[in-house]
Amino acid sequence: MAVKISQSPMNLRALMAKVVSLKPAPSCETFWFSGDGSTTDFTLPAGWVPKQVHVSGGLQRPGSAEDYTVNNDGFKRTVSFAVAPGSVDVAIFAELSQ
């Protein structure tokens, strides 16, 4: 079996260098939790970084003087609310870190 290459080796190397340098699009996921009025910490699986946090459909503000903070133990990130969400849905939109 014979193989015929239609481009010179230098052009193929340049093309392969471009392909190797491409990065995949970030993976996004929504993690759903249920508030109970006493739980303030919600931990994401390892590798996920929270981008937006919603409680009962309302966007929350990040920061120590605002609605929530994000803590990182080196493996997992935890969203810690200043005030525990009541019996409502908590949605955390997260992106897989690369």
- Pairing state of beta strands 48-55 and 41-43? unpaired
- 19-65 tens-digit pLDDT: 777 777 668 999 999 999 999 999 999 999 999 999 999 999 999 99
Q: Enumerate residues 6+ apart whose C-beta is below 8 A from 42.
A: 31, 33, 78, 79, 81, 90, 92
- 81-98 tens-digit pLDDT: 999 999 999 999 999 986
Contact 68, 81 (CB under 8 A): yes
Structure token pair of residue 26: 């970030």
Is residue 1 scored above 80 in pLDDT? no
- What is the enclosing helix (H) or strand (E) of 92? strand 89-96
For residue 93, the SS3 value is strand
* pTM of this structure: 0.73
For residue 97, the model assigns a pLDDT of 83
In the chain, where the domains are located: 26-96
